[in-house]
Homo-oligomer: A and B are copies of this chain.
Amino acid sequence: MSHSRKVISIHELKVSCGDCSLSEICLPHGLNQEELNELDALILHKPRIEQGEVLFRSGDPMHHLYAVRSGAFKAVLSSNEGAEQITGFYLSGELMGLDGFGDDVHQCTMVALETSTVCAIDIDELEKLSTRAPGLRRQLRHLIGAEINHDHRNLLALGQLKGEERLAAFLLNISRRLKKRGFSPYEFNLPMARHDLANYLGLAVETLSRMFSRMIDADLIETNRRHVKLLNTKALCELAQYDCPRESHHASS
């Protein structure tokens, strides 16, 4: 909270898509300079969102899409009996709010898992711009497809895999996403509490804890609270029945 720190913060708020380190995985990916400038013009950088705060709520009319700039979010869908299901976690560079496409009303509630920042994109402006920016249309389509594919893989996990296998699939999925962002795929901090992860995986917290313990005993991983180290990705891949990043020709980081 010193003065110099404040300056840095202001600087960050001015970051444009072109300068953003996430541009290669986020909406700007594949855009030419002109498209990039136009996209930049309609993006609103929101200030910090603290842990537990809500970005949008089920029932809210949809006005924006949001890209995670820093931090992480969970999307929560509720039944009218109060049961809640986390349908996804969103890391930096990922697009949130597509659940409002159906009838222009958000179905999920989006909650920050840690202090986060987002880029808000007015949906009408994005729509207008997309008519004359083919690169933007293409990237938006790919991000939509990523959301759908993620959901489908999750359905496969919930419908076909056992608890331990689901956890393995999840860890590998996070690993891959973090690697894409330049972080180590073998050692990372999970942004969510056990409680949220258990819900996401359709398990009780206690069961999830047992799955972790079992994997630790089998020397597949090491954990310390939210810190996770993957020790045997091959075995994890076999457990997960999916997502094997093909430990390619000594090309790992």
Contact = CB atoms under 8 A, between A and B. Distances in A.
B244 A80 contact: yes
With a 10 A CB-CB cut-off, give which of A80, A81, A87, A155 has the most chain B CB atoms. Answer: A155
Interface stretch (A34-42, A157-165, A224-232): A157-165
B148 A98 contact: yes
Q: Indicate how many identical chains form the complex.
A: 2
Interface stretch (A1-9, A21-29, A100-108, A188-196): A100-108
**Is the contact region of chain A dominated by helix, strand, or loop, or is it mixed?**
helix
B156 A154 contact: no
Given A147-B148, A151-B148, A160 B85 contact: yes
B79 A145 contact: no
B145 A148 contact: no
Interface in A108-138: 108, 127, 130-132, 134, 137
Interface residues of A, number: 48
A242 interface: yes
B85 A148 contact: no
A101 B199 contact: no
Contacts of A145: 98-103
